[in-house]
Structure formats: structure tokens, C-alpha cells
Structure 1
Amino acid sequence: MRCPFCGSQDSQVKDSRPAEDGGAIRRRRVCPDCNGRFTTFERVQLRELVVVKKSGRRVPFERDKLARSVQTALRKRSVEPERIERMISGIVRQLESTGESDVPSEMVGRLVMEALRGVDDVAYVRFASVYRDFREARDFEAVIGELKADPLPPVPDDEDRA
């Protein structure tokens, strides 16, 4: 692993432990050249995913881009970071388990909408406003009407299941 501080090609692992409920490994590393310390995460990747946009353009799937979109929708909402990370991991697992390397952007958006709806109504409406390209206040009213007409029960946290 290349050192982010000095660019050295060598680094030593000082500590490894499971992260994200066992879905990743967190490694603390140190560079022998500059003594810089940094953390890396390793995740299982079943296949290389490619997102097919509405225009037909194909772009590599980026977990970080998905995370930024979800974080934007959840900004200033009281949702635990661990729950957000589990939600993102769940969306990625669903995409990988389709058996296809090419996933339509609509599928990604739909999975995010479903996940947000179970976590936070405000984040759901925020994401929907971008995903569905709202143009006027009536668009917001329609989505809020959907939430009122078909409310989902809140998704229990791990602590609630015990």
C-alpha cells in the first residue's frame, strides 16, 4: 500500500480488525520511511459494477459517490453513522447480487429511495426531489402524500432486536 504522505511503495500493517459488521477489514498502517500512520479499509467486491445512465453512457460504480448522495440527503438528520454505513453496504450488496455487471441508474436510485424511506422521511423527500427532478411545490406534495398514504414502519436498529 502506497504511503499517502511520502508516496513510498512500502507500508507495514500494525493492526487489523473487522469493521462494518464484518463486511470490511480496517487496517492501521505505518510507513517505514516517514513514520506516517494511516488507515485503510478492505471490502469484498463480488464484481466490477458499471452504472448505465439514462443517456446510455456507462460509468464505473463508485461507492463513495453513493455515500455522498446518501449523506447529502441525511444532512442534519439524527441518524447514526453506523446505520448509514449498513444501509450503503446493503445497497451495494443488492446491486452486486443482481448477477449483472451493468446496473441501470434507475435501479440505484430506486434502491436508495427504498432504503431512505425506511430510515428517515425527510431524507427520503430530499433525495426524491433530486432523483425525480422536482420542478414545483406540487411535486413535494405528491411525495409527502405517498408517505402519508403508505407509511412504512420504522426499520428496527440492532439494539431494538435484542
Structure 2
Amino acid sequence: MRCPTCGEHETRVIDSRDLDEGATIRRRRECTGCAWRFTTYERVEAARLTVIKRDGSREEFDGDKLRGGLEKALTRRPVPPGAAEQATDEIEAALRALGASEVPSERIGQLAMEKLRALDHIAYIRFASVYQSFEDLETLKREVDSLYRERVP
């Protein structure tokens, strides 16, 4: 690691600590040339995910965009704080576990609906009504009926 003060290439690590539940390592370093102390952070750079949209176009996966959609669906619903963030992280982890660099937007939508269905049925219907573009009330009613059947033992 090059010293930011004098440019020396030799530094020694004084202290190392895990951050973010082991996702990041914080290292305190000291330059062997000028004795300047500085901090560095190491984290794994995840491979980029590309989303294949319905029209065939491609764009980089944007977790913030997904989280925003989940937050809109969960607005004013009795769910724990951070539920949208956690669901977003879990969806992204599931996508990365597929091992593919490209993923269809339909798969992201399916995963989002699964998470919302488990969290809150109203949020699920909100999201599904936009994502699935229900064409009429009958289609929406069938989806709501499936939720009722799910709840009844």
C-alpha cells in the first residue's frame, strides 16, 4: 500500500478489524518511510448484475430502485423498520446465488413479490397490481382470493 503522504510503497499493518459483519476490513497502517499513520478499508467488489428488461434492453441492477419499489408498496403498513432494506439485500443475494451475470426483470419481480407476500398481503397486492399490470378487477379479485385461501387453514 502506497503512503498517501510520502509515496513510500512499504507500510506495516498496526491494527485490523472486521466491519459490517465481516464484509469490510479496516486496517490501520504506518508508513516505514515517514511513520505517517493512515486507515484503509478492504471490501469485496461484487460482480455486476445486468437486468434484461421486458423489451430486451439491458441495464445495470440498481438495488436502490428495487428498494424504492418495495418501500412504496410497504408505505404505512405495519412492518418492522428496515424491512424493505432487508428484503432488497435478500433478493440481491438470491440473484447473485444464481451465478449468472444477467437476470431477467421478471425474476426480480417474482422474488420481490415472494418477499412482500411473506411480509404483508396489502403491500404484496400493491406491488403485484403495478408489476403484473392487472387488466381488470376479475384478475385482481383472483389474486386477493388466493391470499384468502392461503390464510385459511
Could you tell me the TM-score, scaled by structure 1's length?
Answer: 0.66
Partner residue, 1:144: 144
Equivalent runs, 1:29-68 vs 2, <5 Å: 45-68=45-68
Other structure's SS at 1:150 match: helix
Once the two structures are superposed, residues 41-86 of structure 1 have per-residue CA deviations (whole angstroms, 9 ceiling, x without a partner) of x975532000001111111100000000000110111212233222
2:46 counterpart of 1:75: no
In structure 2, C-alpha distance between the alignment counterparts of 1:139 and 1:117, rounded to whole Å: 17
RMSD: 2.7
> In structure 2, what is the Cα distance between the partners aligned to 1:106 and 1:126?
17
What's the counterpart of residue 119 of structure 1?
A: 119
Q: Distance in 2 between matches of 1:127 and 1:103?
A: 20
Q: Where does residue 97 of structure 1 map in the other structure?
A: 97
**1:107 equivalent in alignment to 2:107:** yes
2:43 and 2:140 map into 1 onto residues whose CA distance is: 37
Separation in structure 2 between the aligned mates of residue 43 and residue 130 of structure 1, nearest angstrom:
36
User: Aligned partners of 1:134, 1:66: CA distance in 2, in Å?
Assistant: 20
Structure with higher Rg: it is: 2
Q: Give 5+ residue unaligned stretches, structure 2.
A: 1-16, 25-41
Q: TM-score, normalised by structure 2?
A: 0.69
Amino acid at match of 1:60: E
Contact 1:23 1:43 in 2 (8 A): no
Q: Aligned equivalents of 1:141 and 1:23: distance in 2?
A: 46
Distance 1:141 1:45 in 2: 44
Contact 1:23 1:44 in 2 (8 A): no
| Number of residue pairs matched by the alignment | 121
Q: 1:52–1:77: structure 2 CA closer, same or farther, 3 Å change rule?
A: same
Distance 1:23 1:122 in 2: 35
Query: What letter matches 1:52 in structure 2?
Result: I
**Cα pair distance change 1:82/1:44, threshold 3 Å:** farther
Q: Residue 78 of structure 1 aligns to a residue in which SS?
A: coil
**SS at 2:51 equivalent:** strand
Q: Distance in 2 between matches of 1:105 and 1:142?
A: 24
Letter in 1 for 2:58: R
Alignment-derived partner of residue 132 in structure 2: 132
